[in-house]
Every structure is written in structure tokens, then in C-alpha cells.
Structure 1
Amino acid sequence: MKGVYRRRLSRRGPRGRLTSPGLEPSERLLAGLAVLFAILVAGTTGYVLLGLDVLDALYQTVITISTVGYGDPENVGGRYQLFTIVLILLGTGTSLYTVGVVIEMLFEGRLDDQLRRRRMQRSIDNLSGHAVICGYGQVGRAIAAAMVDAGTEVVVIDRDPGVDPGDRFLVRGDATDDGALRNAGIERASSLVLALDSDVDNLYVSLSARALCPGLFIVARANSLSALPKLHQAGANRVINPHHIGGSRMAAIALQPGVSDYFEEVTRRTDQDVRLLEHQVPQGSPYAGRPLSELELAQKTGCATLAIRRGGRWFTNPQGGHQLAEHDLLVVLGTEEQLSLALALFESELSSGG
């Protein structure tokens, strides 16, 4: 990022890169033009003193410093030649410097941005299991912040040339274009979040993403209630209406503020240590068809099993005799340390059979 002060001994460019010390390009251009003007005046004055009239002196100065050089007047002396040599050295160097600054101002930013995009694309190509977010407005920014806070890599797709993603990966383009989705690594992503302002665009991207990656988990934003079933039909696994969710959340806070505050703590990464974790019983697990008590989750990890989902049905606060089944989704509550133990238990016993 640019520093606060424009003049200083050195400054850091984008991503902390140390750039050349001195003036900004615009200031260097003004300085070059000022010196070039001074040389024109000095050259014209010198040739006038050497015997040329003003127009011929100005003409001779211009063709000299521009290296055009149509030839010298006849019968020139040593002083004329010596003055012309000095003028060529000073004027040509100043002209080249000024032209170089102009080229830098015109093309350096564009080339630097192009190189930065290529470096970022190489980094994106190495990602796997990341989340792709389409749209970086207020909703998209909030989603990205929550995901990054949870430790998930995020790639943002947005077509606004003025959007600033900060430290996040950005693919600048239209999310409705399959090329932009592929550049974001959609085939290697674990989830796709559609946060575009248009329901039509979210619908189109959902269809495209589902065709490109059939197993992708897609969460879509619906700006109108009528768009919810259509987005489900287009392949979205979950469809959220921010206005409806926001209204329900505000009502819950007004009715039961304590309960709402507690769930706010456990569903977000805050300073509180308690968290929620979900895990699906894999196919072929030796615990399928056996009671929950045999898993000994509470005894081995200290976590509490809050609910189990089977298909579209939830079993809240399941008891030890509850029979587990393949593809059951367990929701457990515990501290960071307890959840780490639970993950290790799931990996060793549910996945490999203990």
C-alpha cells in the first residue's frame, strides 16, 4: 500500500515491495519538463549569442536535443561546436528521461497489475479445498471474513475493477463465465458461495458450477423468496435469503437475548473457547447399526452430542441407545481441545473402524 507521505527516502509499493526512492512519477515528469524547458531557453539564448536570430536559435536547439540534426549553419566556430556538444549531452539526456517517465506512467501500472494477477493465479492454482465466493459486496465481504476467520482459504470472483480484496485471492471477471470459475479453481474447491446481487446471475452460476463440479457444495443467496425453489432446482444445496435470516435473527434476540447470545458464541469464532463440530458417519463404518454409547464420545473427548440428522430428520439430544447409521450427521459441542480429540476419534474409529 502507498505510504502516507509522498516525499521520503524510500517507500513501499503494493504488498510491501520496496520501490525506488525519490519522487512520485508525476513529480518526476514535472521536474523533467521543467529542466527540458530550461535547456530550451538556455540553448536558444546561447545560439542567439553565437549569432543566430531567435527563431533559428530555437529551431537549432530543438533539432539538437531531439537528435534530429539536419546540419549546422555554415562557417561555425569552435565555440559554436563546443556549445552544441554540451547542449546535446544535457538536452538528449533530459529528453530521454522525460519520455521514459511518460512511458512509465502509461504502462508500468498496467504491467505491474498484470504481473501481480499472474502471480496470484499461480497461487490459486495450488489451492485445494478452498471456498469460492462470487460477489464481493457487503454480503460477500462478511462471508469472506467469517470463512477466513474459520481458517478457510477464500477465492473471490468479482467483475468490479475498483474492488479491493485486501489480502484475499481475487479473480477479476464475471462469475457467469465458466472461465472465471475455472480460474478460481472451482474443480478443486470444497464449496461455492453465490453472493451476487442478481437472483438471475446466482441461478445461472449455480447451474454452471453444478455442471462443472457435480459434487460441489453450493450455498446461494436469494434476494427474493420466489427465487428460493428455483435456486434449489438449479443445484444449490442451501439457499439463504439475507433479509429473512436477518429479520428472524433480530426477532430471536428481542425474544430470547440470552439464548441468542449463546448461539452467537458457539457458531462464530470469538474469544469464547466453545465451538460446534459436525461429522458424517461414513459408509461402511463399523459403528453403523450400533448405539451411540459405544462410540464413547463424551468419555473419551468430553464433547456433548447435541443432535443427529438422518436424511431430513433431526434427533435432538440423542441418548446413548440411539442407533447410528451410515451417513448420519453428528453435531457435537466442545472446546477447541475437546473437538481436536473428537476429530482424532472420528478419523480413527468411524473412518477406519478403530
Structure 2
Amino acid sequence: MSKDAQQISAIRRFSASIISVALLVISGTVGYMYLENMSPLDALYMTVITVATVGFSEVRPLDDVGKIFTMTLIVGGTGIFFFTLTNVAVFFVSGEWREHWEQQRNERMLRKLNDHFIICGFGRLGSNVAEEFRIKSIPFMVIDNMIDNVLRARDEGYLAIKGNAADEGVLIDAGLQRAKGLIAAAGNDAENVFIVLTARNLKPSLHIVARADCEESENKLLRAGAQKVVMLYRSAGKRMANILIEPELEEYLDELSDANNLNLRIAQFIVNENSALVGKSFQEVDLYNNHRINVVGYKLPGGELHTTPRPAEIIQKNGTIIAIGQGGDLEMLNHLTQGEAQK
């Protein structure tokens, strides 16, 4: 039996036990009121001391019918009463109530998520992606079919659910229709292909990045609907070669990509038609001197990329500015490109 099934079973046992005791107390109270003509309080008192077997004296002497009813209540009710106490103790001592509370909390938080990213798989890659998102305060949630990985993610403070990310129902529960993007980081390429296919079918506009271990899987993932496929061994090979060939450059890039150092980020911004930047040259807007922002690339609306835009190049609507800067400065550039007033 899975952990989720065990939790559901425990909650059902707990609920059934509480209901059984409530019905037992109500039945006993009504019985004493009807058979012995007791007041509601006296009848409740008699029921409680009978099923709890505490040995207190009766409210008043019982007739034969009352004695038979009391014996029946003892035989039938005492077992239910103590069985319920045992179930309640097990429920709280075992921590099942905590897991149930966390599950409810997860579901409430999921309903509030919007423009978030979904990480499918919380292995070594997925956990590193989650850490990057956490550092950059990007909303995300995790899906994994291993309960140990789900609990590990929750222990780290992440929103996580257990399930197969290739299942439409699980992705819908994860708020796919409200999500901004998805990372397919499952343990094998076949799983990632199915995850990408399902996600793309549910939301054609979703931005999807997938991991792959072998060359053959890259084309399959792209055909399935991934916009970008990360080949782990290829990326690691290039990185190792660069560390040997140009160690100083690699150290600089590490510093640049680490949000804990220098507070620098690299980001891209699409220029809205209402932006004050439209129609001006990079020399005119002088983003470096005015806003401490380094422009490292500019993509024309047609898709052509200029890695080093000329000072005289004109910024067009729907063009994309790629820049490096600190968080607050990049936020200012975002307002400029969207044509919003500075906040």
C-alpha cells in the first residue's frame, strides 16, 4: 500500500472511530431518557460512566430494563470506546495528522499559484533547479512519483505533490493551465518525453525545457514539444573543457550566475510598443550610465540576434534586450521596456 493510501486509510479510521463514539453516546443517552425517564444530563452522565467503566455510582437505582440496557451498553460500547481511544492516539502519535494537515496546506497553496514553474522530478537536477528558483524568488512547485522525494522537497519548504507528471490529472492539479513554464527533469528520457507530450497537449503555449541523457532523445523531446533540451553530459563536457582552457573566464561566469555574489542577474526583456525606448538608439538611452545596466545582446523582432549591439542601432518594438545588472536595475529596465511608470 502506498503512503498516500495509508494516510487516507488512517484518516478514514480516525473519522469512523469518532463518529462511532458519538453515535454510541447519543444512543445511550436517548436509551436512558426513554427507558429510565432520566433528564438529558443524567442520561449523558450514565452513558459516559458506563462506556468508560470508571465505576462511579448510578444516578438512581435502575429497574430490570435499565440494568439489561446498561449491560448491553457495557458489552457493545466499551470495546468501541477503547478502540476509538487507540485509533486517536495512533493518529496523533504517528504524525499522520501532520501529513494530512500538510496535504491540505499544499492544496490551498496550489490553488493560489499563478505564473509559476513546474519542476517534474526532484532528483539531483530538479533539486538544483528548485534551489535557483528559491534564491531568485521565482514561484514554483514540484511533482515527483517518489514519496521520499516529495517529503524531502516539503522539508526544504517547497510546494510538492506526489504523482506521475505524465498524467494529465496530476499536471492539472499542479496548476498547469496557470503555469508559466515546465521543466521535465525526470530520471530517464522516456519519462521526460511523455511528460513533455502531455504538457504540450494540455497547454500549447507553455514554455517547456527538458533534460536528456543521450543524443537520440534530443530530437524526440523537441518533436514532443520542448522548446529547449539540455544535454547534461554535453553541457558538463563543455564546462570542464572551459575550466581547463579559460579558468579565469569560468570563475567570472560563476560569480555572475551566483545570486549570492555581486547580486548580478542576466535577463531578457521584450520591448512593448508603448515603451519610450522605441525608436531610440542604444547610444541615446545609454542604459549603462543612466541605469547601470550592461546590454550584452539585442534580438530583432524577426529573430536575428546581435550579440554586441552597435551604439547607433535603433530599438524596435517587439525587439528583445538581453542585459546584465542588479535586481533593482533590471526591474527598472523591465518598466522601461513595458512602457510603465517607474515604481
- Please say whether Structure 1 and Structure 2 have the same fold, judged by a TM-score greater than 0.5: yes
Contact 2:271 2:338 in 1 (8 A): no
Question: 2:264 and 2:51 mapped to 1: Cα distance?
Answer: 75
| Aligned counterpart, 1:153 | 139
> Rg larger in 1 or in 2?
1
Q: Are 1:278 and 2:268 counterparts? A: yes
1:226 aligns with 2:229: no
Amino acid aligned to 1:139: L
Aligned length: 264
Q: Is the 8 A contact 1:197 1:223 kept in 2?
A: no
Separation of aligned partners in 2, 1:250 and 1:132: 29
> Which residue of structure 2 lines up, in the alignment, with residue 135 of structure 1?
121
* 1:252 matched residue in structure 2: 242
Q: Does the C-alpha gap of structure 1 residues 159 and 342 become closer, same or farther in structure 2, counting only changes over 3 Å?
A: same
Tell me, in whole angstroms, the C-alpha distance in 2 between the residues paired with 1:296 and 1:323: 12
Bigger relative contact order, structure 1 or 2, given CA contacts below 8 A and separation 6+?
2
How high is the sequence identity, in percent, across the aligned residues? 26
**Secondary structure at the counterpart of residue 196 of structure 1:** coil
- Aligned residue for 1:323? 314
Q: Distance in 2 between matches of 1:95 and 1:114?
A: 24
Q: CA deviation at 1:199?
A: 1.2
CA distance in 2, matches of 1:347, 1:338: 14
Residue from 159, 163, 166 that aligns with 1:173: 163
Q: Is the 8 A contact 2:91 2:97 kept in 1?
A: no
C-alpha distance in 2 between matches for 1:146 and 1:274 = 13
Deviation at 1:148, TM superposition (A): 1.0
1:190 aligns with: 180
Asked whether 1:345 is paired with 2:331, we answer no
> Which of 250, 253, 268 is matched with 2:258 structurally?
268
Contact 1:292 1:321 in 2 (8 A): yes
Shift of 1:316: 1.8
The separation in 2 between residues aligned to 1:211 and 1:121, in whole angstroms, is: 24
Q: Tell me the amino acid that sits aligned with residue 142 of structure 1.
A: N
Are the structure 2 counterparts of residues 99 and 340 from structure 1 closer, same or farther at C-alpha, using a change threshold of 3 Å?
A: closer
Q: Distance in 2 between matches of 1:236 and 1:65?
A: 64
Extract unaligned runs of 5+ from structure 2. Answer: 1-49, 54-73
Q: Contact (CA 8 Å) 2:277, 2:337: kept in 1 or not?
A: no
Contact 2:278 2:317 in 1 (8 A): yes
Counterpart of 2:57 in structure 1 is none
More helix by share: 2
Q: Distance in 1 between matches of 2:265 and 2:279?
A: 28
Match of 2:102 in 1: 116
Contact kept in structure 1, 2:278 and 2:316, CA below 8 Å: yes
Alpha-carbon separation, structure 2, partners of 1:231 and 1:95: 57
Q: What does residue 32 of structure 2 align with?
A: none
Equivalent-residue separation in structure 2 for 1:297 and 1:99 (angstroms): 70
When normalised by structure 2's length, the TM-score is: 0.69
Runs of 5+ in structure 1 lacking a partner? 1-63, 68-87
Please report the TM-score for the alignment, with normalisation by the length of structure 1. 0.67
Tell me the CA shift for residue 260 of structure 1.
0.8
CA RMSD of aligned residues (A): 2.9
